[in-house]
Amino acid sequence: MSKSFRILRAVALTALLAFGAGWQAPAAARQPSPGYTELPARQQALVDDLQRRSFDWFWQSGNPQNGLVPDSWPSQSFSSIAAVGFGLTTYGIGVERHYITREQAVERTLKTLRFFADAPQNGSEDDASGYHGFFYHFLDMHSGKRFARWTELSSVDTTLLLGGVLFAQSYYDRDTPQEREIRQLADTIYRRVDWPWMQPRRPLISMGWTPGGRFIPVDWKGYNEGMLVYILALGSPTHPVGPDAWTAWLSTNHLTWGTFQGQTFLNFAPMFGHQYSQSWVDFRGIRDAWSREHDLDYFENSRRATYAQRSYAIANPGHWTGYGANVWGLTASNGPGGLVVKGADGERTFHGYTARGAGLDYITDDGTIAPTAAAGSIAFAPEIVIPALTTMKQRYGKYIYDDYGFVDAFNLSFHTPTTLRTGKLVPGLGWVDSLQLGIDQGPIVLMIENWRNGFVWNVMKKNPYIRKGLERAGFEGGWLGAGAAER
C-alpha cells in the first residue's frame, strides 16, 4: 500500500468517523472500516477504557472459589453459565492486554473448569448443576447447583459456556501442569455433552429440558444465536448430531431473508443473535451452502444488520426521544417496565427485560437503548459503532457510564414515577439502568478484541472441534482451507 493511498484512506476514515451522524451507507456498498491504529487518540482512549472497564466487570464480580460469574452485577444475583463462558474468554484477553498476569488467569480458569468438571450431573429437581453434560441456565453463585425450579437445562447457554471452555483449551497451550490440566478438563467437559439426547424432535436440537416439564417444546430453528449450538454439536467427537441438523436449522431462512431499512440480509431482530456466535467464530470468508447461494458470508450479513439497526433509529418510527444516527441499538436487555403509560399521544408500553429488536422477523421497541447492541457490533461496522459510543458517552456518560463501562440500558422516553425492578429515574433525562449483564458485557470485550487484532477468532481457529463442526456444517473457503482438521 503506497504512502499516498494510506494518507487518503486515513483522511476518508477520519471524515467518516467525525461526521457519522449525517451519513448513511448505501445498501450494497461496503465503506472503509477503520482499524484501531487508524483512530484518533481520543477514540483509541475511549475504546481502551470501555474494554478495560467491561473486563473488570467479569474479574471483580466472579466468585474466585468456583469461577461462577453472576447474571447481573453489582447486585445479588444467581450465576449465568453463559456469562461464565464469556468470562473465561475475557481472562485470556486480560492477559494479552496486561490487565492481569497469565498466572492469575490460569488460577481463575482452573477453578472454573474444576467446578464444571466435578459439578453434580443427574435428573433431580434440586440436587444437580446439570444433566447429560448440559448445565442449568442459572446456578447458585455459591453452591453451584440449579438456582430454582423455574430455570431450565439450557442448550444455548451451555453452548456459550463451552465457547469459553474451548477458548481456554486452545489458549492455554504451555507445557506446565496447570495448563495441561486446563486442556484436559476442557476436553472432559465438552466431550461429556450428549447432543443427540437434546434432540427429541430430530434432527433439530431442543432449547432445553426441565426435570418437571421435560423437553422444552421449541427447537433451535432459523438464523439466531443457535448457530453456535449446532456447530459445537456437529463437532463433538463423542456425541455428535448428524449434518442434517444444520440443514434443518437453515430450513426457514427464506422467511427472514429480505430488505429491511435499505439492507438486504438474513434478519434476526436483536443484535445479540448476530454477536454471540461470532464472538468466538470468524465467519469472514467462509461459507456454507446457504451463504454460497446468497453470495455473502455471515459476517457480512451481520454488518448489514448493524447498518439496518442504525437506519431504523434514524427513521425512528416510534418517535422515541434521543434516537438518531449516533444513538441506536436494540437487543435483549433490561428496561424500565413492564407497564403501560398513558399520555397525550396515547398508550405506550414499556418492557422490563426483553429481546428488543428491529427486523423483518419482528419489531419490539419501547425506546430502550442497549449500548452493547452497538459496542458488541464493533467488529462488523466500526465506522458507525465508534461514533455511536462516542456520542452516547459524551451526552449521557455522567449517568450511563460507570466503573464497569456502559450500564446495560437507558430510556430517554420514560419519565413515569413507579417502583422499578432495576435502575433509576434521572430528572430531565429518563430511565437509566444501575446494572450490567454478563451476556451483554461479554460481546463488548470479545468483539473489541476481535476488531483490534482477531485474537479470540485466531485462538478458536486452532481448536479442532470448532473446525470439525464448521466443516460438517458444510463451510468451506477462507481460513478453513489452511490445513486439515484434526479427526
> Are residues 359 and 433 in contact, defined by beta-carbon separation less than 8 angstroms?
no
pLDDT at site 31? 62
d(C-alpha 255, C-alpha 47), whole Å: 37
User: Residue 103: which of 190, 188, 167, 182 has the closest Cα?
Assistant: 182
CATH number of the domain that residue 361 is part of: 1.50.10.140
Q: What are phi and psi of 301, to 5 degrees?
A: -60, -40
Are 245 and 321 part of one and the same domain? no
Can you read off the three cell numbers belonging to residue 225?
444465536
Are 385 and 413 part of one and the same domain? yes
Are 267 and 346 part of one and the same domain? yes
pLDDT at site 8? 36
Are 240 and 270 part of one and the same domain? no
pLDDT at site 229? 98
Are 250 and 110 part of one and the same domain? yes
In-domain check, residue 478: no
Name the 3-class secondary structure at 79: strand
In-domain check, residue 1: no
User: Residue 357: which of 473, 272, 442 has the closest Cα?
Assistant: 272
Query: Ramachandran region of residue 12, left (φ > 0), alpha (ψ -120 to 50) or beta?
Result: alpha
> Are residues 304 and 274 in contact, defined by beta-carbon separation less than 8 angstroms?
no
d(C-alpha 322, C-alpha 413), whole Å: 8
Strands 436-437 and 72-73, sheet pairing: antiparallel
pLDDT at site 482? 65
Terminal CA-to-CA distance of the chain, rounded, Å? 40
Name the 3-class secondary structure at 445: helix
Are 154 and 211 part of one and the same domain? yes
Are 220 and 271 part of one and the same domain? no
Total number of domains in the chain: 2
Query: CA–CA distance from 194 to each of 121, 205, 235, 239, 396 (Å)?
Result: 12, 11, 12, 5, 47
From first to last of its 487 residues, the chain has per-residue pLDDT tens of 443 333 334 334 434 444 343 333 444 345 678 899 999 999 999 999 999 999 999 999 999 999 999 999 998 999 999 999 999 999 999 999 999 999 999 999 999 999 999 999 999 999 999 999 999 999 999 999 999 999 999 999 999 999 999 999 999 999 999 999 999 999 999 999 999 999 999 999 999 999 998 999 999 999 999 999 999 999 999 999 999 999 999 999 999 999 999 999 999 999 999 999 999 999 999 999 999 999 999 999 999 999 999 999 999 999 999 999 999 999 999 999 888 887 777 789 999 999 999 999 999 999 999 999 999 999 999 999 999 999 999 999 999 999 999 999 999 999 999 889 899 999 999 999 999 999 999 999 999 999 999 999 999 999 999 999 999 999 999 999 865 444 3
Are 223 and 152 part of one and the same domain? yes
In-domain check, residue 450: no
Are 309 and 393 part of one and the same domain? yes
| Domain-terminating residue out of 255, 286, 305 | 255
> Are residues 286 and 475 in contact, defined by beta-carbon separation less than 8 angstroms?
yes
In-domain check, residue 249: yes
CB half-sphere exposure, 82, CA atoms < 13 A: 25
> Are residues 97 and 55 in contact, defined by beta-carbon separation less than 8 angstroms?
yes
> Are residues 245 and 251 in contact, defined by beta-carbon separation less than 8 angstroms?
no
pLDDT at site 3? 37
In-domain check, residue 265: yes
Q: What is the pTM of this model?
A: 0.93
Q: State yes or no: cis peptide before 428, omega within 30 of 0.
A: no
In-domain check, residue 482: no
Are 242 and 219 part of one and the same domain? yes
Are 233 and 262 part of one and the same domain? no
pLDDT at site 30? 55
Query: Could you tell me where the DSSP H helices lie in 40-192?
Result: 41-61, 81-96, 102-118, 155-171, 177-191
d(C-alpha 3, C-alpha 65), whole Å: 53
pLDDT at site 483? 55
Question: What DSSP character marks residue 206?
Answer: B
| Domain-terminating residue out of 404, 424, 439 | 439
In-domain check, residue 213: yes
Range of the domain at 70: 57-255
Are 81 and 224 part of one and the same domain? yes
In-domain check, residue 51: no
pLDDT at site 34? 87
